[in-house]
Amino acid sequence: MTDWTDLVISLIKAFLVFIGVVNTVPILVWAERRGSAFIQHRLGPNRVNIAGVTLFGLVQPLADVVKFIWKEDYAPSHANRVFYVLAPVLLLVPAAMTFAVIPFADVLTVAGREIKMQVADLNIGILYIFALTSLSVYGIVLAGWSSNNKYSLMGGIRSSAQMISYELALGLSVVGILMIYRSVQLDEIVLAQGRELFGVLPKWGVVTQPLAFVLFLAAIFAESNRLPFDLPEAESELVVGYHTEYSAMKFAIFFMAEYMAMITGSMLIVTLFFGGWQIPWVESAELKAAVGEVPAALLQLGSFSTKVLFFLWLFIWVRWTLPRFRYDQLMRLGWKVILPLALANIFATGLVLYFT
Amino acid sequence: MVIDPRHVKVLRAEDIIRERAHTEAWWKRIYLPAVVMGLGVTIRNMVRNLIHPGGLPTIRYPEERRDYGARFRGRHYLKKRPSGEPRCVACMMCATACPADCIFIVAGEHPDPAIEKYPVRFDIDGLRCIMCGYCVDACPEDAIAMTKEYEWASYEREDFIWDKEYLLNWRDEKVVDDGYQPYEGEIDKSRMSRGTL
């Protein structure tokens, strides 16, 4: 009997997390369009309405979705049909699976049952995320190659080179965090960040590993193909790169996958460097004792969401601030700057840990 | 002057960039302070625009209009005599002056010998017209003038052929300001002074 309740609880968690993440995507698109508009002294989409209600333009994504669904699903005749259809799926599925190991709140105890506030408590934790994010490169390369279009192919090739280069930096910049918190499980890393350093600062990853944070931030921008590292798309030179030949919902899936990669990235940054669901200077146990189990979990969820939303905004903010890197600059930054710095950071962390 | 190519120093872009990179201050070379400053610029602009959206240059079109100048060359109209007939005497000056050849006139004999001719047909092809205003300049009778009207989109090509009746009467249906009509009233004034009106 207990097995069944566990299964049901897991299914409910998976459903809620998936729905939550998927519904963040249109809000992000809205934030991107309206935010960029206000940064560039424009108004942005504010006309679409339902019976006069525009919700500051939030109805626009709804109209976009309707348009995407009803558009002709055109596939070029020279494309390799099997891989052409497979590519968006290969990109979306890993992007949607990554959220499984992110903890959203402290362990919740309801009716004597401990419920972990993450979909799957894997003991490999962060390695699972890295494994899945590296899978997404296949979707992009396959899309570029099966389209049989030189721009798409260029985009796919650039993307694979960029992702492989920055995955290294991504993985290495996290090693310091793993050394300090002595775990690869994200819930344990978050728990360890709940303590305080010198009694004042919360023991967040960004305090203990500031250099790793900067490197990780740069690498995660590159991994999610966002400006200033959006060379696979590069509108000015490659049309839109790997998804040039895609239309209708297939294009929308690429779009969704990009935004989901952004959400993954933000959640990872928050979990590793900003204490996940921890509310600064508030102990989880004290909070539970003060307001009760469920309100505490909701407050922690709120704390987590606020941090994640800030980093999602940072993604958008940076996109409308910085120009795109040139390909050789990108490679030089990845291999000659971020990689040695990440290695030096690991060495320094090891020294400090050895002597303390 | 002849330059010996052996004495020319070839500077490559990479060398210049590398040289410059070593002369800049270290905090400029790591770019991060510059990135943060750039982020400050964008967020400052955004917050300012959010607080004060009226300062945006956007004109919210159907509700707001740009204020065009008095000499704006919009859609033509034909002026009327006090009797309600067109002032036009079908002299063909405008059709001759028209560089787009968009004016089509058929002249007819007017019963009043003082007027002599009148247009049986007077069509302007709005799709051909380039809104240059030469017809207004050419007209010796001050019979054609332009307005500030610029909204005449339609799904039917026929709607862009404006015939005599339409050009005479469309301003009764839509209130539009006068546009380009530089000789407004001058012809009547000079005739009045010569006593020929």
For chain A, say whether B50 makes contact (Cβ under 8 Å): yes
For chain B, say whether A310 makes contact (Cβ under 8 Å): no
The three-class DSSP label of residue B20 is helix
DSSP secondary structure, A241-279, as one string: GGGTT--HHHHHHHHHHHHHHHHHHHHHHHHHHS-TTPP
What does the pLDDT average to over A82-87? 87
Angle between helices A293-319 and A2-39 (to 10 degrees): 40
DSSP B86: B
Query: So what's the pLDDT on residue B196?
Result: 66
Q: Are B89 and B118 in contact (CB under 8 A)?
A: yes
pLDDT interval class at A6 (50, 70, 90)? confident
For chain B, say whether A211 makes contact (Cβ under 8 Å): no
Q: Which residues pair with B146 in a beta bridge?
A: B76
Count other C-beta atoms under 10 Å from residue A42's C-beta: 15
Structure tokens at B52: 């004060």
pLDDT interval class at B124 (50, 70, 90)? very high
Residue of B nearest to A319 (CA): B39
**Residue type (1 letter), A79:** A
Residue of A nearest to B50 (CA): A38
- B35–A322 CB contact, under 8 Å: yes
How far is residue A268 CA from its own chain's centroid? Answer: 7
Shortest CB distance from A42 goes to which of B32, B42, B58?
A: B58
Structure tokens at B118: 């009148």
Q: b/e string for B157-175 if b means 16 or more Cβ within 10 A? A: eeebbbebebbbebeeeee
Return the sign of the alpha-carbon dihedral for residues A322, A323, A327, A332.
negative
Least Cα separation, residue A41 to chain B (angstroms): 6
User: Residue with structure tokens 């993440």?
Assistant: A21
List Cβ neighbours of B118 (8 Å cut-off, separation of 6 or more): B85, B86, B88, B89, B90, B107, B108, B109, B110
| Res. B130: pLDDT tops 90 | yes
Query: So what's the pLDDT on residue B131?
Result: 92
Q: Which of B170, B158, B6, B142 is nearest to B74 (CA)?
A: B170
Query: Is the preceding omega at residue A295 within 30 degrees of 0, hence cis?
Result: no
CB–CB contacts below 8 A, A to B: 34
Shortest CB distance from B39 goes to which of A42, A43, A321?
A: A321
- B35–A35 CB contact, under 8 Å: no
Query: So what's the pLDDT on residue A206?
Result: 78
pLDDT interval class at A246 (50, 70, 90)? confident
Q: What percent of chain B has pLDDT over 70?
A: 96
pLDDT tens-place string over residues A36-50: 888 888 888 888 888
How far is residue A64 CA from its own chain's centroid? Answer: 23
Going by their DSSP bridges, the two strands B117-125 and B161-162 should be labelled as: antiparallel
Shortest CB distance from B42 goes to which of A42, A214, A317?
A: A317
Alpha carbon distances (Å) from A311 to A269, A317, B71, B146: 8, 9, 52, 56
Q: CA A87, CA A142: separation in Å to the nearest integer?
A: 6
Q: CA A292, CA A202: separation in Å to the nearest integer?
A: 23
Average of per-residue pLDDT values in chain A: 83
Q: Are A115 and A9 in contact (CB under 8 A)?
A: yes
Q: Which of A1-10, A98-107, B94-103 has the lowest mean pLDDT?
A: A1-10
| Res. A322: pLDDT tops 90 | no
Confidence (pTM): 0.79
| Res. B97: pLDDT tops 90 | yes
| The B161-162 sheet, strands edge to edge | B103-109, B117-125, B161-162
| Res. A217: pLDDT tops 70 | yes
Q: What percent of chain B has pLDDT over 90?
A: 32
For chain A, say whether B34 makes contact (Cβ under 8 Å): no
What does the pLDDT average to over A40-66? 83
What does the pLDDT average to over A148-170? 85
Angle between helices A150-181 and A248-273 (to 10 degrees): 20
Q: Which residues of chain A neighbour B50 with C-beta distances below 8 Å? A: 38
Q: CA B34, CA B38: separation in Å to the nearest integer?
A: 6
Q: Which of A199, A317, A333, A220 is nearest to A271 (CA)?
A: A220
pLDDT tens-place string over residues A112-127: 777 777 777 778 888 8
The H or E element that residue B162 is part of is strand B161-162
Q: Which of A286-295, B113-122, B152-161 has the lowest mean pLDDT?
A: A286-295
Q: Which residues of chain A neighbour B39 with C-beta distances below 8 Å? A: 317-318, 321
Q: Which of B116, B121, B55 is nearest to B89 (CA)?
A: B116
Query: So what's the pLDDT on residue A199?
Result: 66
List Cβ neighbours of A162 (8 Å cut-off, separation of 6 or more): A222, A225, A229, A231, A232, A330, A334
Listed in sequence order, the DSSP H helices in chain A are: 2-39, 60-70, 81-97, 126-146, 150-181, 186-192, 205-208, 210-223, 235-238, 248-273, 284-291, 293-319, 327-332, 339-355
Q: Which of A93, A94, A98, A88 is nearest to A140 (CA)?
A: A88
List Cβ neighbours of A190 (8 Å cut-off, separation of 6 or more): A103, A271, A275, A276, A277, A278
